[in-house]
């Protein structure tokens, strides 16, 4: 699965919010271990258009592990005739079933026998079932689209099973550890087609219905239920000229979008080959499909042999797609294909391992884009964005460990939707790669895949494989293990700050660590410490990323020699490890002197410039360092040419901008920001001039976006002129005259500073758009006209106007809009019942709405008002106390900053 990819602004906002999951891993909601499945024979008939139901029969061959008289499996939202449940010994001798019962809370189905099952005995449990094809986007559900040629609604049925959806489609042992072989047959109406995980074998006429056919698919290798997939539709297939003749690669989508498959069909086989070589393991299936679904709750899903995507996550019109989306789609494809190994071939035992499953797919996705598009520097850019997000979110008291203990089923969804799950993992894996070395890391991963192929594993198994290889190659001390190191990073909450205190007279430096918190607690957190690989330089050699020593709990106050005449020392070469670095003032001033020299600043590499910016802004934010020092450092940006340092700086300054909104000092801050951006903006102000290169395009977008946001008059006028020129064009949908790479920025700022005419024009473009609806929704939420914002929020409760999948981006856009905050807050207060009723099927959409609003609040009065609202509306929240704790921490951080720095920040 891939967490929904967010644009720059969404990433920044998420980094300012916390998430809370408190649990201890229990077995109460896990299946008993008396049985394990061997294979499933699954027969499903799908009825579309007339009654939207499915019916089926599943035969589960299983073996007894511990003596019992009861089989327990999962089933929910299914209709099961208990009299049809049949239990047979070896498929021949029927064993009487004494009772069939259900536990709705645990979603268990109990089949009790009249005899005791003995260990090693095999049985076949056969169950008939029916269910509704709902529009819930989970389980086996229905979706639709309007055919362009006939203008008729076409229906399809598709599964989405991660994490707990398979039990909604057929009775099964719905936990990742219970891998089994699947033999699937799908019955459907003639004229439609079906696909599943495995390769199609043959089709026969349905014996009981002459209008229906039965499709049979190959038997699968052992796999987990959440990776099972099947679909019935009238979609078309585009087949690749595969570089691997043994694997048939196809893109599957609506007929009218088939002309947008070229990029994916060319990239997929190359990505498969890349992963085969990286993992040193051939792709085990005979085909790999990728399907674009009109209504899909996740950005993408890695079902084995048939990955599914939102249409905008897989398809693209090469003539209009911007480079940012090109690389994001490439990343999604490579991410999901990496899952075919890291998730498909080797699967986590339980959802506590979700971070590793997703983290490795993300890491492989970033690396894969860099490999297949070497000019992109995609890994560096995305790694910086991940650092920004994790450094902020993980600094909250309410943060949670990366490996979260999962006790109840409803605790899985918040983790699977948590950005930390996807962002922190790649950072830590890159750290391991760096301190072990590329060769050791890669071979250790290969050993892990080979050892646990077609089975289940957990993070300790990977740590063991990496340790064994590191000891064999001599890249890790024999007395040290990867588990010893990584448990401190995955099982503990947060990350450290490395305190660097120099004694200039003695020629020494003392290093110590503590947890970094954005809101200071009453006492120092001495309970947590990390194994930190220490790299440093005083000479400008930043390429030495192998640690010279480790800082840990046993040597947490370490003094080492350092020459007296060194102007400065910098730790964490190439920003490879997740920690902040706090220097003494004299060291900061030495660094600032080098940065502000246009002939020397590049001697400090890009990623270390990024970390210096992020750390200085954060230390100033919590009061550990004067903002005056930070702003002296940021003056160097007048000669900075690269994207990631500008991204780091402007992202950090967004927090200040947000907290000054709706205050008298906001205008003064905006003027200072216009001054900071003036040189860079003058370079990019000609928006019609084409810029080449991924990072340069990103930088152009960032500078123009922010220059307009900070009310640079020239920028606003140029944006409005271009947008209005587009409005006057004869065919605005097919002839978008906006500069291709700047169209998102121009749309957002034109709506912000334009009027109702501009808004209505863009709304019409949204209705006709094929691939840009998400981006247009965001732009429409940026208007400054309150009546339009209120109307837009009301429309978010009507799926016939705005589909549910756009709800989150709409709420975020309106809530964080300066003009929209009060509108969004009052809308929540007045419409909480309607919002809850409408969004409850969307998981945590209400929680996100609350987070978005809380992140904008900054006074004690607002905090008390919001807490009172949550208490009064507690029936709409699963854990109101947790929500209150979370918003209190977020708002209190804003209150503390405002009380300390509001009158100091502007005169810089």
Nearest to 819 by CA among 865, 783, 843, 765: 783
Angle between helices 807-815 and 773-780 in degrees, nearest 10:
30
CB proximity list for 455: less than 8 A, separation 6 or greater: 179, 222, 346, 347
Q: 10 Å Cβ neighbour count for 106? A: 16
Q: Establish whether 339 is an annotated binding residue.
A: yes
| Torsion over CA: 62, 68, 70, 73 (sign) | negative
The CA distance from 692 to 376, in Å, is 11
Q: Establish whether 110 is an annotated binding residue.
A: no
The CA distance from 698 to 691, in Å, is 10
The CA distance from 345 to 676, in Å, is 51
Q: Is 336 a catalytic residue?
A: yes
The CA distance from 755 to 787, in Å, is 11
Q: Which two tokens stand for residue 710?
A: 């900070």
Q: Which two tokens stand for residue 720?
A: 């409005």
CA distance from start to end of the chain = 45
The CA distance from 103 to 565, in Å, is 72
The CA distance from 239 to 260, in Å, is 13
Q: Are 100 and 85 in contact (CB under 8 A)?
A: yes
- 3-class secondary-structure state, position 284: coil
Q: Which two tokens stand for residue 491?
A: 């099982």
Q: 10 Å Cβ neighbour count for 15? A: 25
| Cα–Cα separations (whole angstroms), residue 715 to 604, 674, 710, 761 | 32, 11, 9, 21
Which value, in Å, is the radius of gyration of the alpha carbons in the chain? 28
Q: Establish whether 335 is an annotated binding residue.
A: yes
Please state whether 421 falls in left (phi above 0), alpha (psi between -120 and 50) or beta.
alpha
- The residue length of the chain stands at 908
CA angle 358, 362, 366 (to 5 degrees): 170
The CA distance from 72 to 171, in Å, is 10
Q: Are 617 and 657 in contact (CB under 8 A)?
A: no
Q: Are 288 and 303 in contact (CB under 8 A)?
A: no
Q: Which two tokens stand for residue 192?
A: 């439609």
Return phi, psi of residue 514, to 5°: -155, 165
The CA distance from 698 to 324, in Å, is 8
Nearest to 821 by CA among 886, 894, 897: 894
E-strand spans in 758-813?
A: none
Q: Of 302, 311, 336, 772, which one is the catalytic site residue?
A: 336
3-class secondary structure per residue, 112-158: EEEEEECCCCEEEEEEEEEEECECCCCEEEEEEEECCCCCCEEEEEE
**CA 509, chain centre distance (Å):** 39
The CA distance from 642 to 621, in Å, is 24
CB proximity list for 701: less than 8 A, separation 6 or greater: 8, 324, 741, 742, 744, 745
The CA distance from 482 to 463, in Å, is 5
Q: Which residues are annotated as a binding site for Zn(2+)?
A: 335, 339, 358
Q: Which residues are annotated as a binding site?
A: 335, 339, 358
Residues with catalytic function: 336
């Amino acid at each position: 699965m891939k967490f929904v990819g967010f644009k720059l602004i969404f990433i920044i906002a998420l980094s300012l919010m916390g998430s809370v999951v408190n649990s201890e891993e229990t077995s109460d909601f896990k299946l008993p271990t008396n049985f394990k499945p061997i294979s499933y024979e699954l027969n499903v008939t799908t009825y579309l258009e007339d009654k939207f139901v499915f019916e089926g029969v599943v035969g589960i061959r299983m073996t007894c592990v511990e003596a019992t008289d009861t089989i327990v499996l999962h089933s929910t939202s299914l209709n099961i005739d208990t009299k049809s449940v049949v239990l047979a010994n070896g498929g021949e001798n029927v064993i009487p079933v004494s009772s069939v019962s259900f536990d709705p809370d645990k979603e268990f189905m109990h089949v009790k026998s009249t005899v005791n099952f003995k260990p090693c005995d095999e049985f076949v449990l056969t169950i008939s079932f029916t269910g509704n094809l709902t529009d819930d986007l989970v389980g086996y559900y229905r979706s639709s689209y309007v055919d362009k040629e006939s203008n008729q609604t076409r229906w399809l049925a598709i599964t989405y099973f991660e994490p707990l959806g398979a039990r909604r489609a057929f009775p099964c042992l719905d936990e990742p550890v219970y891998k089994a072989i699947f033999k699937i047959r799908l019955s459907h109406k003639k004229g439609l087609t079906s696909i599943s995980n495995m390769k199609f074998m043959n089709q026969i006429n349905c014996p009981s219905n002459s209008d229906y056919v039965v499709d049979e698919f190959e038997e699968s290798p052992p796999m987990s239920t959440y990776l099972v997939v099947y679909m019935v539709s009238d979609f078309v297939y585009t087949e690749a000229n595969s570089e691997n003749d043994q694997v048939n690669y196809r893109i599957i989508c609506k007929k009218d979008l088939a002309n947008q498959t070229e990029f994916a069909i060319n990239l997929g086989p190359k990505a498969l080959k890349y992963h085969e070589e990286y993992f040193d393991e051939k792709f085990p299936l005979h085909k790999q499909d990728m399907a674009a679904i009109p209504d899909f709750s996740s950005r993408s899903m890695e079902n084995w042999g048939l990955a599914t995507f939102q249409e905008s996550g897989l398809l693209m019109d090469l003539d209009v797609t911007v480079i940012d989306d090109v690389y994001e789609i490439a990343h999604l494809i490579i991410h999901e294909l990496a899952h075919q190994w890291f998730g498909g071939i080797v699967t986590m035992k339980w959802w506590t391992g979700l971070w590793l499953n997703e983290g490795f797919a993300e890491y492989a996705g970033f690396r894969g884009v860099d490999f297949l598009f070497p000019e992109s520097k995609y890994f560096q850019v995305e790694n910086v964005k991940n650092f920004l997000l994790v450094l902020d979110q993980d600094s909250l008291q309410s943060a949670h460990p990366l490996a979260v203990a999962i006790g109840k089923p409803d605790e899985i969804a918040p983790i699977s939707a948590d950005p930390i799950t996807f962002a922190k993992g790649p950072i830590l894996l890159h750290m391991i790669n760096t301190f072990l070395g590329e060769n050791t890391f890669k071979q250790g991963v290969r050993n892990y895949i080979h050892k646990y192929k077609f089975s289940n594993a957990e993070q300790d198994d990977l740590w063991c494989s990496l340790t064994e290889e590191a000891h064999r190659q001599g890249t890790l001390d024999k007395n040290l293990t990867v588990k010893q190191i990584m448990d401190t990073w995955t099982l503990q909450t947060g990350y450290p700050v490395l305190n660097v205190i120099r004694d200039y007279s003695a020629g020494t430096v003392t290093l110590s660590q503590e947890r970094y918190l954005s809101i200071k607690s009453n006492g120092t957190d001495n309970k947590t410490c990390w194994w930190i690989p220490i790299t440093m330089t005083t000479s400008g050699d930043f390429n030495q990323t192998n640690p010279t020593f480790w800082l840990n709990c046993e040597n947490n106050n370490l003094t080492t020699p350092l020459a007296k005449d060194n102007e400065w020392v910098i730790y964490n070469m190439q920003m490879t490890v997740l920690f902040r670095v706090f220097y003494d003032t004299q060291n900061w001033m030495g660094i600032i002197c080098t940065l502000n020299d246009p002939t020397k600043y590049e001697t400090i590499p890009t990623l270390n410039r990024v970390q210096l910016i992020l750390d200085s802004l954060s230390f100033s934010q919590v009061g550990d360092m004067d903002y005056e020092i930070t702003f002296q450092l940021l003056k160097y940006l007048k000669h900075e040419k690269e994207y990631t340092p500008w991204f780091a700086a402007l992202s950090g300054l967004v927090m200040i901008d947000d907290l000054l909104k709706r205050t008298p000092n906001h205008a003064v801050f905006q003027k200072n920001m216009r001054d900071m951006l003036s040189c860079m903006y003058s370079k990019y102000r000609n928006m019609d001039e084409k810029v080449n290169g991924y990072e340069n395009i990103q930088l152009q977008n960032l500078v123009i976006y922010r220059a307009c946001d900070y009310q640079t008059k020239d920028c606003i006028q140029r944006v409005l002129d271009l947008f209005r020129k587009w409005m006057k064009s004869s065919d605005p949908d097919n002839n978008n005259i906006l500069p291709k790479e700047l169209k998102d920025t121009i749309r957002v700022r034109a709506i912000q500073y334009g009027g109702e005419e501009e808004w209505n024009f863009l709304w019409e473009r949204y209705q006709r758009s094929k691939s840009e609806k998400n981006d247009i929704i965001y732009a429409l939420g940026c208007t400054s006209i309150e009546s339009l914002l209120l109307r837009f929020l009301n429309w978010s409760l009507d799926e016939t106007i705005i589909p549910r999948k756009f709800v989150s981006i709409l709420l975020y856009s309106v809530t964080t809009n300066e003009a929209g905050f009060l509108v969004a807050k009052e809308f929540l207060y007045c419409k909480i019942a309607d919002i809850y009723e409408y969004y409850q099927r969307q998981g945590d959409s209400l929680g996100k709405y609350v987070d978005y609003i809380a992140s904008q609040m900054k006074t004690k009065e607002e905090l008390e008002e919001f807490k009172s609202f949550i208490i009064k509306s507690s029936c709409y929240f699963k854990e109101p106390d947790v929500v209150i704790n979370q918003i209190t921490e977020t708002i209190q951080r804003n209150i503390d900053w405002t009380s300390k720095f509001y009158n100091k920040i502007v005169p810089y």
